[in-house]
Structure formats: C-alpha cells, structure tokens
Structure 1
C-alpha cells in the first residue's frame, strides 16, 4: 500500500493486492512497453503527511513523472483504475468513491483519460499489469478475472515475474 512502481522489463508483472477502498492506478504506454502501478490509500495529502504514494493528489503526478522518466510518452499514456470499494458502512463517508474521484480529477488535470475502470462495490480486488504486452487484469475477491486492457494483440508472450508493490523499485 501507498507505493508506486514503474517497469519496462518485459518479464515483470506488477501486482497490487488488497484493493478495498484503495485505488490501483495503472498507467501504460504500449508503444514504449512501459507500465506503472500506484496503490493509492487516500484522496488528499495533509500539511503534515505528504507520503507520495499514499495520496491521490501526490501519487498521480508522481506516477506520470516516473513513467516519462522510464521512456513513456505522456500523450500515449492510458489509465486504468481498480478498487474504490465501500468496505464498511460509515454513514456518508465513502472513502472508496472519494479516492476514485480524486484519481480521476488528477488524471484529467494532467490531460490523461481513463481507458477502463472497475471501481465501487463492496469487495476487495487484486490488479495485475503484465509489462510484456501491457495487459491489465483485475480479480474481485470471490469473483472472476476481468481483463480491463488487453495488450496481447500482436504482442509476444514472455515468462512473467510477479512484482508486488511491497519491496518493488520505487
């Protein structure tokens, strides 16, 4: 949680597990075979807590910057979101929806549209990004695997190494 990772190694697979109210934000540049994933916990940073990967207002521009540093072209970036569930009944407080809104606003401010999203509901999810073909899948707890971005058309399959955000290069 609260981490950002970017890779262009064809054998890598980026994984964000336990996406409840958190948002998994994947960015891909299929032409450059670069992908990144952020596991965002809360919508807005505070004056005293500015942990980059934790908050949407900081994580979105940071992920974009890291993608560009790795060779992605900002104009080709495609965004996919997963998570944002309402895991607990807390009255009107819906952190998942607020997280999703904050990420969408950050992307819009950067001129990046959302290509696909699986957000809301009340179950956790796992999001996977396969670098070799920039395929993005999401599996809801107790549910089916859903492909949100299929990058396999014309792309060769490579052996994959799963890289969870915990301990990945930041």
Structure 2
C-alpha cells in the first residue's frame, strides 16, 4: 500500500507492506527518516524554513515549516519505537525552480534551516539529493528502508 505525503504534510509508518511517497519537491524539502531495527519510516514535505513568518498558518499547518515540522516527524517516529541514534536520514529537494536567479533562495533557505536544526540536535544526514533546478519525487519502502528518487525526465533510482 502507498501512503502519499502532500505538500506541507507528513506520514510515518511501521507497516512493512507500505511505502510512503511525496511528489514534486521543488524548493520544498522532503525529509525521510528510517530506523532499520524497528522498521519505522516517515517523510515530511515542508515548504518554508521558519514558522515565525505566519504564526496562524504554523498553528494550523505545522508541517509547512522546517522548524515546526521536523520535530513532529521525529516525535512521530519515536512513538512507533524509533531511536534517534539508529535513524537513517535522507534529504531531497531544495531546488530553485521558479527562482532560477536565486532572488529568494527558498530552496537553499529550506535546506539551511534543516542543517541548523540537525547541527543543534547532533543529527547527521546519511544521503541527500538537494539543490539544482529540477523537481524530485522520493519514496521509502517501510519493509527495507530503501529510498528511491526520481528527478524530472529520468527514471526512479535507489539512493
């Protein structure tokens, strides 16, 4: 079964028959976490780095922002038995799609917000596919922890 993560959304699962996928990561970031021991995985698809720009929206849609979505992703995985020290982390997205000249740098800022939080919490990124100017789709298989990525105009490949 496939769970779809929309924009400003998150899904976490421990069901070995499931995969979780998020489509069309442009400047957004897809953060994928997986604990191989308990086979818990999840994806967060966030749009913006900081919830402080719109407190009301952040309260209604916490997965829209890095600073409010990332902690919720980890806490949801922990509730299913995941342990921080065992977690594998994959990051995709952070491209400059509509902003090719880099005026707003949303993709870069989204990625930097994640890096800053990870540094503060002593988390490492295992693999990543970020930047550039192509959309990405990313999927994780819960049974194996295998992560697959597809960029515009190419076939899906295992990370």
Q: Same fold (TM over 0.5)?
A: yes
Q: Which residue of 2 aligns with 1:32?
A: 38
Structure 2: tracts of 5 or more residues without a match:
1-6
Deviation at 1:91, TM superposition (A): 4.8
How many residues are aligned here?
A: 148
Q: Which residue of 2 aligns with 1:86?
A: 96
Q: 2:56 is matched with which residue: 23, 48, 63?
A: 48
TM-score normalised by length of structure 2:
0.88
Q: Which residue of 2 aligns with 1:137?
A: 148
Deviations 1:26-84 (A, max 9, x none): 00001110001000110010233212110000111111100100110111111100011
Runs of 4+ in structure 1 deviating by more than 6 angstroms, as ranges, are: none
8 Å CA contact 2:96, 2:132 repeated in 1: yes
Shift of the 121–5 alpha-carbon distance from structure 1 to 2, 3 Å rule, reads same
Q: Which residue of 2 aligns with 1:58?
A: 68
8 Å CA contact 1:77, 1:112 repeated in 2: no
Q: CA RMSD in A?
A: 1.2
Structure 1 position 8 matched with structure 2 position 18: no
Mapped partners of 2:41, 2:155: distance in 1: 23
- Greater RCO (CA < 8 Å, at least 6 residues apart): 1
Structure 1: tracts of 5 or more residues without a match:
149-170
